[in-house]
Structure 1
Amino acid sequence: MFFRGRTVIMIVTLSMMIGSVFTFTVVNMNTTGFTNVELKKISSVIGMIEEEHYNQVDKTKMLDAAIRGMVDWLEDPYTVYYDAEHMKQMDELNYRFSSGIGTEIAMEENRVTVISPVKNSPSEQAGIQARDQIISVNGESLEGLSLKEAVLKLRGPKGTHANLEIIRPGVTEPLKITVVRNNLEVETVHLEMLEGNIGKMKIDQFSQYTAQHFHEGLRELEDEGMQSLIIDVRSNPGGLLNSVVDVLNPLLENGKLIVQVEDKEGNRKQFFSDGNGKPYPIVVLTNHGSASASEILAGAIKDSADGIIVGENTFGKGTVQKTFLTAGEDGSQLKITTERWLTPAGRVIHEKGIEPDILVEQPLFFATNSLESNHSDLQLQKAVEILKQS
């Protein structure tokens, strides 16, 4: 048995993750809006409040609040207004998050605790270990900070030093470790050959180069005699539409549907495969955290490749968003749900998810075990059993 990883793109920034499970995004300018009478009504209300209200009024903040009110009225969690201040903070985060030390962290007992260093990252190379508690960065204490505030202290431009003070279990005195920040890469595709020549491909998210590395890994497994395939998209929140389409394309026979996208008028855009398909059976592993692009993959393998889904019902995120620049010229943006997507068989999965062909729930300890293994993974065991019998 062996395990390998494929690294893709620079680390996903926080700005891409906030408030999103999976979003197809483009940026457009919108010129439609209210009629002159409607605009006059809005302007008059703002003017009356500004002139007559007892408190001093910030007109910009009031306008932003009005826009958020309109967005909230839609009761759509994926339609979101980002005001100028938010976008400014995101620009800062994009810069600050462009490079860092490479650790997965969490707040435990009000301290920044390392879950694990990213493989081949500066933190791993410097000797950071799981369970380390980072108490200061460059002499600045992290005590009392939120996780986001602590992350901003840890991140920084490539080549700069993060002088860390660390409390390590079993070590009496705090350790001082210097990490040189660098551009980070995230592993999104992991390869493993299981007993019986069963290949396993774990996809963490669908990013820019995920498809490329997925197929590179697939060829490696095929060259080593793989006879069946498990694609694991459990706890995969999604990613890019073109990425999941590219992953699926060679897996499906030419002319098979991958996904359908439908607008409010009922017009559908269909994505078809021009691949050759695969001669071996495919099983997809899902859970409640498998969302959007992961659901596209599961639906396509089930409907267009006669594959089997094993695990739990998926999340149920079946809509498409686009991002528009507002006319305010202040950098504010509005992300709007514009379409929904359907499986090749025409199933609407939004807020429903995709039911597995074979329901397998994990034992409670599996979700909390940081050393998850194939021996305790009932869903994986079931997938292997199915493939050995096929």
Structure 2
Amino acid sequence: MLFNKRLRVLIVIFLIFLQFFIIKVNILSYGKENKKYLSLSSLDEIFYLAKKQYVEEVDQRAVLFSSMKALQGILSSDTVKLTALPQGENIDLQMYTYRKNITQILEDYGDKVGHDYIIKTAISGLLEALNDPYTIYFDKDEYERFNSSLKGGNFYGIGILIEIDKDNDNQLTVVETIKNTPAERADIKNRDIIIKIDGISTKGLSIDESVNLLRGSRGSKVELLVKRKNISDPLRFEIVRDKIHISSVESNLIDGKIGYIKLSVFGEETNKELDEALKELEKAGSRGYILDLRNNGGGYVIAALDVCSKFMPSNSVVVYMKSRNEINAYNTYGSTHKSVPLVVLVNESSASASEITAGALQDSKTALLIGTKTFGKGKVQTIYELQRAGGALKLTTAYYMTPHKKDIDKKGLTPDILLEMDSSKIGSEEDIQLQKAKEYLFEKNSGNGR
């Protein structure tokens, strides 16, 4: 199985709209604080993991050079005299030179700039050479937040899902406002662009850095400067943080006979929560299902397998994973639930595990897809918990394909019924995608006598 390794490994397709470009050194958290939790062995661990496990061959000299370049960017270049990395294939000599340079930098600048800040900058430079926005190093605190985002449960914040909008100048954008949260009460809208958080510009911030700023202790305040469509001047909001509860599955019976199921994330509890929701809807007499994956950026691959197993025949291919050396198929394991007509709703923010699920259900003709073209993330990340560095490395280790071996990376899935709609209308009376799904299910049920 995928999870039985020396390091506890979780195969994930992360919330893609939460990770659009290469994570940068967390200046806000580290700055000149002279913490000493990291070491040269931390760099070694991350470098050799990437070299061995990354989905493509790694140019080791380019990676080490990128790390050195990142370090020179935070130091006074006129006083930094470093030994050039040797040419050729002798990785031992290159690593010796690299480590010697890092040691010198730590000795000369550790007290001025911050020991861990230097190491984190070096790590960031290593990973930046891969040119892969999904490969990211998490320190211990960031890793805990990452895990909590997939486990569901509780945290303290304002209650929004955010993305870096690649189609709108990489601006920090609200994907969805969670119901009954401070953000909803403050009237934060879907597609609002967050310009500043507590006076700090969001331009160039990663999602994780933005989340750090948005979350805080219960009762504390955060100020947002927001740009809203059709309003010329930015809007200012002061929001009091509170406990936010997120369930990965929400469900209810609509129009007396259709089971509506919204998945917000493919998390640890999704299998259990979906099973419970289906049992309740079956008991209520549901004669068809709408599985809403709009604005769902993904999560664990195993959760996608669980979801598909609820609807598809046993031992059906859900996804193919292509690593550097092999291709593996992952299949459903069967379901105890009644088979009824199914519609899956998707949009441009449906990504990764959502696309695995939607692609499998579409290819197997188990479901009809309605909505807009999906995001298009066909890369798989493995989470390696780090023994020396602490935290974790989220590393791209495979590409995935649908059961019909469609590569959707940077292409997305095309729905069976393409129906454009502004995502701000999701859940409103103007939700034409949901209306179309209901119409299809009513016709399907009336046509087959169910």
Q: Kindly state the Cα deviation for residue 284 of structure 1 after the two structures are TM-superposed.
A: 0.4
- Which residue number corresponds to residue 256 of structure 1? 316
Which digits, 9 at most, give the CA deviation of each residue in 1:76-96, with x for residues without a partner? 1001234xxx4356669999x
Query: In 2 relative to 1, CA 242–340 (structure 1 residues): closer, same or farther, beyond 3 Å?
Result: same
Q: Kindly state the Cα deviation for residue 361 of structure 1 after the two structures are TM-superposed.
A: 0.8
Q: How is 1:92-107 mapped onto 2 (pairs within 5 angstroms)?
A: 103-104=158-159
* 1:194 pairs with one of 254, 277, 292: 254
- Which residue number corresponds to residue 379 of structure 1? 433
1:339 partnered with 2:390: no
2:259–2:289 Cα contact (<8 Å) kept: yes
- Which residue number corresponds to residue 87 of structure 1? 140
1:308 partnered with 2:385: no
- Which residue number corresponds to residue 131 of structure 1? 186
Instruction: For 1:214 and 1:104, locate their aligned partners in 2 and report how far apart those are by CA, in whole Å.
Output: 22
TM-score (norm 1): 0.66
1:321–1:337 Cα contact (<8 Å) kept: yes
Instruction: For 1:279 and 1:16, locate their aligned partners in 2 and report how far apart those are by CA, in whole Å.
Output: 29
Sequence identity percentage: 29
Q: SS of the counterpart of 1:244?
A: helix
Q: SS of the counterpart of 1:279?
A: coil
Higher strand share: 1
2:143–2:391 Cα contact (<8 Å) kept: no
- Which residue number corresponds to residue 286 of structure 2? 226
Query: In 2 relative to 1, CA 215–346 (structure 1 residues): closer, same or farther, beyond 3 Å?
Result: same
Instruction: For 1:242 and 1:196, locate their aligned partners in 2 and report how far apart those are by CA, in whole Å.
Output: 32
Q: How is 1:59-208 mapped onto 2 (pairs within 5 angstroms)?
A: 61-82=117-138, 86-88=139-141, 103-104=158-159, 130-131=185-186, 144=199, 151-153=214-216, 155=217, 162=219, 185-195=245-255, 197-208=257-268
1:348 partnered with 2:407: yes
Query: In 2 relative to 1, CA 61–132 (structure 1 residues): closer, same or farther, beyond 3 Å?
Result: closer
Which residue identity lines up with residue 19 of structure 2 in the other structure?
S
Which residue identity lines up with residue 251 of structure 2 in the other structure?
L
Instruction: For 2:276 and 2:108, locate their aligned partners in 1 and report how far apart those are by CA, in whole Å.
Output: 67
Query: In 2 relative to 1, CA 242–352 (structure 1 residues): closer, same or farther, beyond 3 Å?
Result: same
2:311–2:339 Cα contact (<8 Å) kept: no
Instruction: For 1:285 and 1:272, locate their aligned partners in 2 and report how far apart those are by CA, in whole Å.
Output: 21
- Which residue number corresponds to residue 41 of structure 1? 97
Q: Kindly state the Cα deviation for residue 376 of structure 1 after the two structures are TM-superposed.
A: 0.8
Q: Kindly state the Cα deviation for residue 51 of structure 1 after the two structures are TM-superposed.
A: 9.0
Instruction: For 1:209 and 1:92, locate their aligned partners in 2 and report how far apart those are by CA, in whole Å.
Output: 16
Query: In 2 relative to 1, CA 216–76 (structure 1 residues): closer, same or farther, beyond 3 Å?
Result: same
- Which residue number corresponds to residue 418 of structure 2? 359
Query: In 2 relative to 1, CA 72–281 (structure 1 residues): closer, same or farther, beyond 3 Å?
Result: same
Q: SS of the counterpart of 1:202?
A: strand
Which residue identity lines up with residue 360 of structure 2 in the other structure?
A
Instruction: For 1:71 and 1:116, locate their aligned partners in 2 and report how far apart those are by CA, in whole Å.
Output: 32
Q: SS of the counterpart of 2:272?
A: helix
Which digits, 9 at most, give the CA deviation of each residue in 1:90-110, with x for residues without a partner? 669999x98656752699xxx
1:204–1:236 Cα contact (<8 Å) kept: yes
- Which residue number corresponds to residue 271 of structure 1? 331
- Which residue number corresponds to residue 139 of structure 1? none
Q: Kindly state the Cα deviation for residue 290 of structure 1 after the two structures are TM-superposed.
A: 0.6
Q: Kindly state the Cα deviation for residue 208 of structure 1 after the two structures are TM-superposed.
A: 1.7
- Which residue number corresponds to residue 76 of structure 2? none
Q: SS of the counterpart of 2:407?
A: coil
Q: Kindly state the Cα deviation for residue 69 of structure 1 after the two structures are TM-superposed.
A: 2.4
2:249–2:273 Cα contact (<8 Å) kept: yes
Instruction: For 2:158 and 2:116, locate their aligned partners in 1 and report how far apart those are by CA, in whole Å.
Output: 39
Q: Kindly state the Cα deviation for residue 254 of structure 1 after the two structures are TM-superposed.
A: 1.8
* 1:292 pairs with one of 352, 375, 382: 352
Which residue identity lines up with residue 393 of structure 2 in the other structure?
L
RMSD: 4.3
Q: Kindly state the Cα deviation for residue 266 of structure 1 after the two structures are TM-superposed.
A: 3.2
Which residue identity lines up with residue 20 of structure 1 in the other structure?
Q
Query: In 2 relative to 1, CA 65–290 (structure 1 residues): closer, same or farther, beyond 3 Å?
Result: same
Q: SS of the counterpart of 2:249?
A: strand
Instruction: For 2:365 and 2:336, locate their aligned partners in 1 and report how far apart those are by CA, in whole Å.
Output: 11
Q: SS of the counterpart of 1:290?
A: coil
Instruction: For 1:164 and 1:215, locate their aligned partners in 2 and report how far apart those are by CA, in whole Å.
Output: 38
Instruction: For 2:153 and 2:437, locate their aligned partners in 1 and report how far apart those are by CA, in whole Å.
Output: 38
TM-score (norm 2): 0.58
Q: SS of the counterpart of 2:247?
A: strand
1:257–1:273 Cα contact (<8 Å) kept: no
Query: In 2 relative to 1, CA 361–187 (structure 1 residues): closer, same or farther, beyond 3 Å?
Result: same
Instruction: For 1:262 and 1:64, locate their aligned partners in 2 and report how far apart those are by CA, in whole Å.
Output: 30
1:252–1:276 Cα contact (<8 Å) kept: no
Alignment coverage as a number of residue pairs: 318
Which residue identity lines up with residue 140 of structure 2 in the other structure?
M
Q: SS of the counterpart of 1:376?
A: coil
1:103–1:116 Cα contact (<8 Å) kept: no
Instruction: For 1:351 and 1:268, locate their aligned partners in 2 and report how far apart those are by CA, in whole Å.
Output: 21
Which residue identity lines up with residue 293 of structure 1 in the other structure?
A
Query: In 2 relative to 1, CA 51–306 (structure 1 residues): closer, same or farther, beyond 3 Å?
Result: closer
Q: Kindly state the Cα deviation for residue 191 of structure 1 after the two structures are TM-superposed.
A: 1.7
Instruction: For 2:144 and 2:424, locate their aligned partners in 1 and report how far apart those are by CA, in whole Å.
Output: 35
1:210–1:243 Cα contact (<8 Å) kept: yes
Q: Kindly state the Cα deviation for residue 223 of structure 1 after the two structures are TM-superposed.
A: 2.1
Q: SS of the counterpart of 2:326?
A: coil
User: Quick check: 281-290 or 197-206, which moved more?
Assistant: 197-206
1:260–1:271 Cα contact (<8 Å) kept: no
